Amino acid sequence: MARVTATLVVNFSAQESGAAGNGLVLEIDDRDDGLNGGNTSFRTGDAAYYLLYAADSVTVQQHEVTAGSKTGAGSGYREVDEVVQFVDGKEGSLRYPASSAVIMTWIGSYHRTDGQNGPVSKQVIGQQTVRLGAPVAGLLRCVYRAAYSAYKLANVPTDIEQALVYVQGERI
């Protein structure tokens, strides 16, 4: 088993925040119809909602905040439409762990970089890794659903401008 972690800094000032991980992803809920109403900037005293995405192979063991309190705020799915870029490579990463089948289509054409001709197989390994049958240069559009758990960070003292969200899990 391998330990995996993700962190997120929630800023209660003009700075930006974000997060990414491999098997664990934390991010501010930036969806226009999401829990923050599209807001990604917060003032002291505000509540901030964030989303935790975890691959099926990851068991969350610790979930902490350095200031304020966190409470569960539901769960759901995010529809994802992203482009994975390949430059003389056979492997790329999805932004989130996929919780549905991933529909993959090339944008324009792709070019094999191994000197061979013919089609290239595509598959998703472990919910986040896109693996091709040969190295290529090309853009692969990936459409899928990603499951999340939502949380509310609140009650951060007004003299604190940042709070860290820490999530640790273990990959099975």
Per-residue pLDDT of the chain (172 residues), as tens digits, is 777 766 666 766 543 333 333 689 999 999 999 999 999 999 988 999 999 999 999 999 999 999 999 999 999 999 999 999 999 999 999 999 999 999 999 999 999 999 999 999 999 998 999 999 999 999 999 999 999 999 999 999 999 999 999 999 998 8
What is the amino acid identity at position 36?
N
Q: How far, in Å, CA of 154 to CA of 115, rounded?
A: 56
**Which tokens hold the place of 104?**
């993959």
Q: What is the largest CA-CA distance in the chain?
A: 62
Domain ranges of the chain: 2-78+146-171, 80-145
Strand order in the sheet with 162-171: 2-11, 162-171, 58-65
Which is nearest to 162 in space by CA: 4, 2, 8, 3? Answer: 8
Q: How far, in Å, CA of 27 to CA of 16, rounded?
A: 11
Whether the Cβ atoms of residue 114 and residue 161 lie closer than 8 Å to each other: no
Q: How far, in Å, CA of 40 to CA of 31, rounded?
A: 9
Q: What is the pTM of this model?
A: 0.84
pLDDT at residue 37, as a whole number: 95
Q: Three-state DSSP class for 71?
A: strand
pLDDT at residue 8, as a whole number: 67
pLDDT at residue 2, as a whole number: 74
pLDDT at residue 17, as a whole number: 36
Whether the Cβ atoms of residue 170 and residue 4 lie closer than 8 Å to each other: yes
pLDDT at residue 16, as a whole number: 37
